[in-house]
Structure 1
Amino acid sequence: MTSKLDSPPSYEEALQHPKSATYPYQPQHGSHLPPPPSYSPSPGPGVCLGPPGYWGQSSVYPQPSMCAGPGFSPAGMPTTVPTLSAGLPASNSGEMEDFLSSQWESTSIRHAFIKKVYLILSAQLAFTFSVVAVFTFVDPVRLFVIRYPGIYWASFVVYFVVYCVLICCKEPRRRFPWNLLLLGVFTLALSYMSGTISSYYDTKAVFLAMGITALVCIAVTVFCFQTKVDFTSCGGFLSIAAVLLMIIGIVTTIVLYFQYVPWLHMLYAAIGALVFTLFLVYNTQLLIGNRELAISPEEYVFGALSLYVDIVHIFLFILQVSGAATE
């Protein structure tokens, strides 16, 4: 707490008593002040823009050194104009090059991942449709499957178990060669199941289903690589559609057990083909990786598995529609 003697004198006292020892900023040129300078529109650095009559007077209160504040620099120091790059290095070309190289590296990794997935998928589809052709064109094999339906149910159990292992357990599908081994067993089981189902239909219906499935897959792939619509954010909608498809399938099975209704069976197959086409769009955009959600490049087995299951189910549903139409 300061006393009254310690406080600085007023402006009038400073003019009347220029040699007062209590005020630290005393004028050194007598009691008469020099005339104020003429107006200058651009005062130099260090000049206090105070009240009129005190510009440029270094010995009159306030001192130029005390005018430092926000936006002003102290006397004797060069003024600088702040820019948008304040706080950043003068040259960030190295950082930009690192950013572009990382982007290019991630893009190349994604392209290699897509190629690997489609190579695995091509091998799976080639094997599956070869098995379907054997069960369709070779009469002894087709008659054997029709005579012993337990073989079909055994393939369905193996397919379901391996599918659950690949979906739920991440470690087996990431470690080589266990991932390819499980994928091979799954492909064998699903191919055998598709072949046994195809053996119950006419050859014309099987060929028609293959052609329509190929056209649908090509159209979906081109659409996913060209469109800007993000289907990866529709996972909840697809889950609801899958549950509704399962409920419709149970109802259709019960109705067909007691009374055969041809149009109901075809309606269920058409809805199933549509739902799995939407799943194919969803999984293809997950594979591309330029949407809200994406598959990790390490999950090439999971990516190939998702597309393979969608395509085979589209084929099976279209086969039911074409088979009922040909009959």
Structure 2
Amino acid sequence: MMGLVFVLIIVLSCCENVRRKVPLNFIFLGLFTIVEGFMLGSVTVFYEAEAVLWAIGATALVSFALSVFAMQSKWDFTAASGAMWAIGWTLISFGLLCAILRTQYLYIVYASLGTLVFSIYLVMDTQLMLGGKHKYSISPEEYIFAALNLYLDIITLFLLLLQLIGFCR
């Protein structure tokens, strides 16, 4: 199932003719959403229901607050895309280290740093979608790509918050 998610992400990200052609773009985004929903269900089953509800609430609150901040802020987060790319790869490397060492404290640090990084990604992607006076923007024809970016940011934020809440219980 994880392979299908990656294939759908690559197709929606790299194939402009799929991303911009109605109804094909909606079909692919819908298929991605269904597969991602099954994967989220498979992950959340290992956590207590209360932890999942707390993570959902925290994700909704953080996503709303960061989206409002992105719309109101005079700071241009889109200019930091290169730095965020490097930070993202550093986070992936740290995640591999956590998988090797397997200590709860490292997992908590990883989830905390990941939450911070993906919060910045959410602000950056929201500003990319809004356009305006920001350094970079996404064209209005790329609404599927923008939706995919926001979707991935929010889902990853949810999983990291769930991991934090789950480990802290």
Q: What does residue range 84-95 of structure 1 map to in structure 2 within 5 Å? A: none
Q: Which structure: greater helix fraction? A: 2
2:110 matches 1:274? no
2:103 matches 1:253? no
Task: Give the aligned partner of residue 314 of structure 1.
Answer: 157
Task: Give the aligned partner of residue 214 of structure 1.
Answer: 60
CA RMSD of aligned residues (A): 0.8
Give how far 1:262 is off. Answer: 1.2
Task: Give the aligned partner of residue 203 of structure 1.
Answer: 49
Show CA shifts across 1:111-136 (max 9, x none): xxxxxxxxxxxxxxxxxxxxxxxxxx
Q: Name the SS for the 1:229 alignment partner.
A: coil
Task: Give the aligned partner of residue 136 of structure 2.
Answer: 293
- Which runs of structure 1 show a deviation greater than 6 angstroms over 4 or more consecutive aligned residues? none
Gaps of 5+ in 2: none
After TM superposition, the score normalised by the length of structure 1 is: 0.51
Which structure's relative contact order is higher, taking Cα pairs within 8 Å and 6+ residues apart?
Answer: 2
Once residues 189 and 245 of structure 1 are traced to their aligned partners in structure 2, the CA distance between those partners, rounded to angstroms, is 25
Give how far 1:321 is off. Answer: 0.5
Size of the alignment, in residue pairs? 168
Give how far 1:306 is off. Answer: 0.5
Q: Name the SS for the 1:180 alignment partner.
A: helix
Task: Give the aligned partner of residue 14 of structure 1.
Answer: none
Instruction: State the structure with more CA Rg.
Output: 1
Give how far 1:289 is off. Answer: 0.8
Task: Give the aligned partner of residue 302 of structure 1.
Answer: 145
Give how far 1:274 is off. Answer: 1.1
Task: Give the aligned partner of residue 18 of structure 2.
Answer: 172
Q: What does residue range 30-109 of structure 1 map to in structure 2 within 5 Å? A: none
Task: Give the aligned partner of residue 86 of structure 2.
Answer: 240
Task: Give the aligned partner of residue 224 of structure 1.
Answer: 70
Once residues 136 and 104 of structure 2 are traced to their aligned partners in structure 1, the CA distance between those partners, rounded to angstroms, is 40
Show CA shifts across 1:97-155 (max 9, x none): xxxxxxxxxxxxxxxxxxxxxxxxxxxxxxxxxxxxxxxxxxxxxxxxxxxxxxxxxx2
Gaps of 5+ in 1: 1-154
- 1:198 corresponds to which letter in structure 2? T
Give how far 1:237 is off. Answer: 0.7
Give how far 1:225 is off. Answer: 1.1
Once residues 181 and 224 of structure 1 are traced to their aligned partners in structure 2, the CA distance between those partners, rounded to angstroms, is 29
Give how far 1:282 is off. Answer: 0.6
